[in-house]
Amino acid sequence: MKLYSYFRSSAAYRVRIALNLKGIAYETVPVHLVKDGGHNRRPEYRAVNPQMRVPALVTSNCDVLIQSLAVVEYLDETHPDPPLLPRDPIARAHCRALADIVACDIHPLNNTSPLRYLKRQMNQEQSAIDAWYHHWVIEGFEAYEMLAQGAPYSCGAQVTMADIFLVPQVANARRLKVPLDKFPKIVAIDTTCLKLPAFDRARPENQPDAE
Ligand SMILES: N[C@@H](CCC(=O)N[C@@H](CS)C(=O)NCC(=O)O)C(=O)O
């Protein structure tokens, strides 16, 4: 498989973790999101992903898959071992809800494009943009902290999709200096996950395009 990725992209980080957990070999194709206004905006990448975002996964059958949630679910459906969702339907729904707090409610508000829009089109100061960023992470993490089991992972004893979405968001929060002292459960889950080779190998600093 081939993964179009950017070392700092938390959405690509999710897919890297899932690929590693499933033991699937893949080649990284770096797409720089900042240089020259973003190489993701070049026509050759638009031909891969019309949304011009990373990640995009090219499967061994040459299908191109986009959107990390869809990609992670595809990987789980085609490579069921180890499972990324609990077996029980209620537990599955809780697990998906945790992943969605990150994927649907935190990340879209703090993603590169909306932050750039706040700066360039809305003429916001960097301090206002940072406050916006912190606000949405803290609000999402407050709910996650209350809902996660954290013994030792988000949904209990097994690594799940929720952890795959949480850990990259924590990395982003740390990079943007969001204080995490109010979230001991999240910090503990993150520490435990990062001890697993699948998470460690997926870290931004361990990518071939890391700067
Ligand atoms: N919902 C998408 C988000 C993908 C996304 O927005 N990726 C960011 C990097 S984390 C990106 O490519 N941004 C480039 C841009 O917005 O120009 C997913 O989960 O895959």
Q: Tell me the pLDDT of the chain averaged across its residues.
A: 97
Among 34, 109, 112, 165, residue to substitute to test ligand 1 (most atoms within 8 Å of Cβ): 112
23's torsion region: left (phi>0), alpha (psi -120 to 50) or beta? left
Closest-CA residue, ligand 1 atom 10, reads 9
Quote the CA–CA distance of 70 and 175 in Å, as a whole number. 26
pLDDT tens-digit series, residues 113-125: 999 999 999 999 9
Q: Quote the pLDDT of residue 30.
A: 98
Query: Which residues on neighbouring strands pair with residue 30, listed in sequence order?
Result: 5
Q: How confident is the model at residue 187 (pLDDT cuts 50, 70, 90)?
A: very high
3-state class (DSSP) for residue 80 = coil
Residue 46, Cβ neighbours under 10 Å: how many? 12
Q: Quote the pLDDT of residue 29.
A: 98
- Two structure tokens written together for 89: 């339907």
pTM exceeding the 0.95 threshold for the entire prediction: yes
Query: Does the pLDDT at position 151 exceed 90?
Result: no
Q: How far is the CA of 112 from the centre of ligand 1 (A)?
A: 7
Pocket of ligand 1 (CB under 6 A): 9-11, 33, 38, 40, 53-55, 67-69, 103, 111-113
